[in-house]
């Protein structure tokens, strides 16, 4: 991975954080978590976890940054699920 792609991934991860923060402030009016999982954030996190192990890892960084950037109390479970999917995919692809 060259330096340009690394910087691009970092910038897209930060943009994903901002987009997730904006999304969560528009969607949720209460200041702390409700006891439910956000389906959109979960789908984006799972897809990001899968893409982060492919040549499209920059897009995966953007998508997995989305639930991490949500307001406090939201997006934790979704981010953990996406991270576990990314880790399992990495282990499966590199266990030859």
pLDDT of amino acid 29:
82
φ/ψ region of 72 (left if φ > 0, alpha if ψ in -120 to 50, else beta) reads beta
| 73-96 average pLDDT score | 87
CA 3 → CA 6, 7, 8, 9, 55, distances in Å? 5, 6, 9, 10, 15
- Domain ranges in the chain? 3-93
Residue 11: the pLDDT is: 97
The pLDDT value recorded for residue 22 is 94
Amino acid 1: pLDDT: 67
DSSP 61: H
R_g of the chain computed on alpha carbons: 14
Asked if pLDDT for residue 34 goes beyond 80, the answer is: no
Which whole number is the average pLDDT over 10-20? Answer: 95
pTM here is 0.84
Average pLDDT (76-94) is 89
Read off the pLDDT of each residue in 70-94 and give the average, rounded to a whole number: 88
Query: Confidence band (pLDDT; 50, 70, 90) for 62?
Result: very high
């Amino acid at each position: 991975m060259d330096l340009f792609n690394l910087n691009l991934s970092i910038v897209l991860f930060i943009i994903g954080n901002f987009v997730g923060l904006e999304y969560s402030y528009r969607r949720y009016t209460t200041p702390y978590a409700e006891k439910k999982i956000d389906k959109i954030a979960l789908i984006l996190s799972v897809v990001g976890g899968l893409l982060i192990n492919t040549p499209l890892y920059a897009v995966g960084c953007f998508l997995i940054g989305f639930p991490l950037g949500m307001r406090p109390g939201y997006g934790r479970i979704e981010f953990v699920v996406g991270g576990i999917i990314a880790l399992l995919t990495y282990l499966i692809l590199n266990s030859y």
